């Protein structure tokens, strides 16, 4: 597909989560959503994208993962000192701030006014430009557009100060919702004081934590043709997409995770490569599942049925693979085999 013909990667997952509060609203309650006339458990796309980005940093083995921070001046300054150790830290901070300002990034008190997303390679080039005294806005902005990190390309970058620095996201991540109705519950807890005396037997602290448990439908997609245009190298594109799927499967938002230890993995995974358009299968759960014997089996069954039902509306996927879906034609033995099959298929399509 060297002529930039559209190619989309769809990723669907069913994942059960025990009592937990992995994504809270402003009151501390687990996030929810109304869908199909009932209240569903919800995990925001931002929450899971953050977990995916952290997985990139921890397990990606790549040297061009993005950094998003207000401390972008200090980050560039550290790069400047790494390049030229004779430059003092204070001088490096001034050089970094002036260069960022010249590029159109606003700062105050040596910090960006808003979170700024930059790749390691972009930071290196900007640091070198600062040392060389480059002041051309056009040249500096070119440095901030070239060599985007895989997570900047996937999730995008918005710069309110100068839209020319914006980077369109090549992926979309849906808010995960439960396949069934949920009710928020409350855990009343007490903590004892280790130094309390026999005359002071009461609790040293007490309180409540809200939580729920759910079986989630998760979905994300990547416009592979757009991602390929941003990254530029086919091998990097394929490896990054494999990492994206692996991170989608193995990452977990960390909200209250020490309290609940909700360290689960998906029970089912479905991957599709399409040339017409990305398709979410969330409509399988518009009618909430009702059960007193668990939700996973029925959720997987509905996912399979919805996949078959949707085929009457759209083109058949070029390739489809699954894990944990025994009735599905492309079911694989393990995640490594699935990722290998996906790599083989991607290379076949991108070479054509």
| Ordered DSSP codes for 128-171 | HHHHHT---HHHHHHHHHSS--HHHHHH-B--TT-GGG-B--SE
Tell me what pLDDT residue 150 has.
85
Q: Which two tokens stand for residue 161?
A: 């100060």
Closest CA to 241 of 338, 131, 135: 338
C-alpha 43/C-alpha 255 separation (Å) is 11
SS3 284: helix
Tell me what pLDDT residue 64 has.
66
Q: Is the separation of the CB atoms in 15 and 216 below 8 Å? A: yes
Tell me what pLDDT residue 198 has.
67
Tell me what pLDDT residue 202 has.
66
**Global confidence as pTM:** 0.86
Longest dimension (CA), the chain: 80
Per-residue pLDDT of the chain (352 residues; tens, 9 = 90+): 565 789 999 999 999 999 999 999 999 999 999 999 999 999 999 999 999 999 988 886 655 677 788 899 999 999 999 999 999 999 999 999 999 999 888 888 888 888 888 888 888 999 999 999 888 888 888 888 887 788 888 998 887 777 777 888 999 999 999 999 999 999 887 777 777 766 666 666 778 899 999 999 999 999 999 999 988 889 889 999 999 999 999 999 999 999 999 999 999 999 999 999 999 999 999 999 999 999 999 999 999 999 999 999 999 999 999 999 987 878 898 999 999 999 999 999 998 7
Measured from the Cβ of residue 208, the count of other Cβ atoms closer than 10 Å reads 10
């Amino acid at each position: 597909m060297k002529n930039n013909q559209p190619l989309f990667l769809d990723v669907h997952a069913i994942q059960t989560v025990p009592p937990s509060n992995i994504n809270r609203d402003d009151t501390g309650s687990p996030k929810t959503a109304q869908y199909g006339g009932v209240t569903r458990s919800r995990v925001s796309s931002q929450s899971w994208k953050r977990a995916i980005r952290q997985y990139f940093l921890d397990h990606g083995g790549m040297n061009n993962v993005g950094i998003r921070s207000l401390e972008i001046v200090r980050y560039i300054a550290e790069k400047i000192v790494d390049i030229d150790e004779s430059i003092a830290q204070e001088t490096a901070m001034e050089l970094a701030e002036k260069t960022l300002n010249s590029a159109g990034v606003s700062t105050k008190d040596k910090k960006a006014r808003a979170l700024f997303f930059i790749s390691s390679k972009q930071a290196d080039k900007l640091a070198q430009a600062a040392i060389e005294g480059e002041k051309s806005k056009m040249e500096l902005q070119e440095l901030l557009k070239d060599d985007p990190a895989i997570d900047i390309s996937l999730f995008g970058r918005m710069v309110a100060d100068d839209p020319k620095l914006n980077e369109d996201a090549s992926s979309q991540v849906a808010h995960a919702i439960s396949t069934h109705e949920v009710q928020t519950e409350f855990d009343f807890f007490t903590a004892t004081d280790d130094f309390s005396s026999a005359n002071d037997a009461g609790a040293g602290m007490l309180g409540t934590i809200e939580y729920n448990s759910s079986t989630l439908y998760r979905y994300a997609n990547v416009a592979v043709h757009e991602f390929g245009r941003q990254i530029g190298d086919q091998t990097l594109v394929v490896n990054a997409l494999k990492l994206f799927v692996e991170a989608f499967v193995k990452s977990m938002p960390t909200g209250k995770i020490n309290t609940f230890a909700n360290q689960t993995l998906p029970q089912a995974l479905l991957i599709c490569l399409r040339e017409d358009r990305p398709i979410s299968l969330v409509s399988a759960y518009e009618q909430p599942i009702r059960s007193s014997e668990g939700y996973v089996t029925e959720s997987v069954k509905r996912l399979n049925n919805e996949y078959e039902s949707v085929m009457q509306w759209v083109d058949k996927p070029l390739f489809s693979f699954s894990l944990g879906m025994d009735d599905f034609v492309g079911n694989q033995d393990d995640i490594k085999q699935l990722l290998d099959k996906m790599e083989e298929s991607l290379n076949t399509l991108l070479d054509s």
